[in-house]
Structure 1
Amino acid sequence: MKLTQIFTALLFLGFTSLATGQCHSKKQVSNNHDSHNNHVVVVNNWSYHDNGDIIDIALSDKKFSTLVAAVKAAQLVEVLKGDGPFTVFAPTNSAFNRLPDGTVDNLLQPKNKKQLQAVLTYHVLSGKVTASDIIESIKRNGGGFMTKTVQGDPLYASLQNGQVILQDAQGRKSIITATDIEASNGVVHVIDTVILPKK
């Protein structure tokens, strides 16, 4: 089955209605414009071009350069430029730097493309899931809940000290540091640690 079919077929579970919470984003439109006359939008001090897709958002900030390189190496660019909608938990360069030495270089090798695809699709949910969706689902499920990623392995979300924490299939934890960066084909949330599927 093609990756595009996998993205379309997998259903996102567990996130439901909107609610208020401490994970709201602060969005404002600046007076800057690019050559295509798109507004530059600032969310939680992150700048990106309004109306761009998920890949455009990643390309708009150098803090995502490692993620962009990984998506290209995994040949997932066209998938993440597709209709979606998708929810992407986007690791920054510093998040990738937290991995053991040599991990990123190893994943970027052509022979490890399938493994890299698995890692990246583990950061994606099918459907558009906002910060308030996440918080509402956490509250409705007694403080935390589990959902399935596009890769197939589960991801657990909870609230700790007012922060949304993601726990991966290996027990590693990541904090969502910026939320609700809207793309034309979904939404991006920034995370501080790369999350990993089962080995």
Structure 2
Amino acid sequence: MNGQKTIAQIAQETNELSTLVKVLKEAGLVETLSGNQQYTVFAPSNQAFEVIGKQLDEIVANKEELKKILLYHVVPGVIHSQDIKFVKLGDIHKVKTVGGQELQINKQDDKIYVNGALVTHADIPASNGVVHIIDEVVIPSTVLQQK
């Protein structure tokens, strides 16, 4: 990879991802994103976490649920924005997350969406993968079913 810093280091040094860093620490996942294994991380911005507001406190209080939600944003391997090939506009590309669920990635008007969340900053290179900043926290259906 081109980046000299790990995904965790990039998140820690990016002001827009400070809430993500806080919840990654709560879930004990900073080490996972600091290793050598290659990942693609769809990183919710601080604003994305603000949207869910008080619900975030409830999620953080339940470490297992928090881990499921955070791992839903992590895909094994590296997916750059140019890797998302579409036969035609609106096609959906499905990828399996580290948590074992599927994320749907699609492209509309040259914008990339992950389960409806807009990628606001794509292709931030890391030594162990790539980071894409998104404007929403995406919640796996297994967590939604528990609510």
Greater Rg over alpha carbons, structure: 1
Secondary structure of 1:152's aligned partner: coil
**After superposition, what is the alpha-carbon deviation per residue over 1:61-107, rounded to whole angstroms, capped at 9, x for unaligned?**
221111000000000111111111000001110011111x3111112
Determine the C-alpha separation between the residues in 2 that align with 1:62 and 1:146: 30
Q: Which has the higher contact order (CA 8 A, sep 6+)?
A: 2
- Which consecutive residues of structure 2, in runs of 5 or more, have no partner in the other structure? none
Higher helix share: 2
- Match status 1:114 vs 2:67: no
Count of residues in Structure 1 that have an aligned counterpart in Structure 2: 140
- Match status 1:64 vs 2:17: yes
Secondary structure of 2:87's aligned partner: helix
- 1:22 maps to none
- Which consecutive residues of structure 1, in runs of 5 or more, have no partner in the other structure? 1-49, 168-172
TM-score, length-normalised on structure 2?
Answer: 0.89
Q: CA deviation at 1:139?
A: 3.0
One of 97, 111, 115 as aligned partner of 1:163: 111
Determine the C-alpha separation between the residues in 2 that align with 1:181 and 1:161: 21
Determine the C-alpha separation between the residues in 1 that align with 2:16 and 2:33: 18
Q: CA deviation at 1:142?
A: 7.2
Identity between Structure 1 and Structure 2 (%): 39
Q: CA deviation at 1:178?
A: 1.0
Determine the C-alpha separation between the residues in 2 that align with 1:65 and 1:165: 22
One of 123, 127, 133 as aligned partner of 2:73: 123
Q: CA deviation at 1:157?
A: 1.1
Instruction: Give the 5 Å matches for 1:27-46.
Output: none
- 2:122 maps to 179
Contact 2:89 2:108 in 1 (8 A): no
Instruction: Give the 5 Å matches for 1:66-81.
Output: 66-81=19-34
**After superposition, what is the alpha-carbon deviation per residue over 1:10-68, rounded to whole angstroms, capped at 9, x for unaligned?**
xxxxxxxxxxxxxxxxxxxxxxxxxxxxxxxxxxxxxxxx5110011001122111100
- What's the RMSD between the two structures over aligned residues? 1.6
